[in-house]
Amino acid sequence: MPTVEVTRHLHRFFPALRDGGVDVPAGSVAEVLRAVDRVAPGFTDYVLDERGAVRRHVALSIDRRVVVDRRTLTDRVPEGAVVHVFQALTGG
């Protein structure tokens, strides 16, 4: 099973994701995020916009590789992978 980990600042909003993240079934990024939302309700509202795409200021990676398909979330998350969800820094 893949493990989904979030940055510490998200723990206050989603305490179920503390302590090393949460294990979910392998699948597409969309399927993995829906599985996390079942453990931590509201999680997808934080990560995804109203069209279901990754929000502008959120970054996702699978085994340290940035998720390519931010719109339809079709990147595959294999067994044993680690998915990181973190706030992207922008500005200048």
- Please list, in sequence order, all residues whose beta carbon lies within 8 angstroms of the beta carbon of residue 74, skipping any fewer than 6 positions away: 28, 29, 30
Task: Provide, rounded to the nearest whole percent, the portion of the chain with pLDDT above 90.
Answer: 75
Q: What is the pLDDT along the chain (92 residues), one digit of tens a residue?
A: 999 999 988 888 899 888 888 999 999 999 999 999 999 999 999 999 999 999 999 999 999 999 999 999 999 999 999 999 988 766 65
Which helix (H) or strand (E) element contains residue 85? strand 82-87
Domains of the chain from N-terminus onward: 3-87 (3.10.20.30)
Dihedral, 14, 16, 25, 56 alpha carbons, nearest 10: 10
pLDDT of residue 43: 95
- Amino acid letter, 85: V
Tens-place pLDDT, residues 42-61: 999 999 999 999 999 999 99
pTM exceeds cut of 0.85: yes
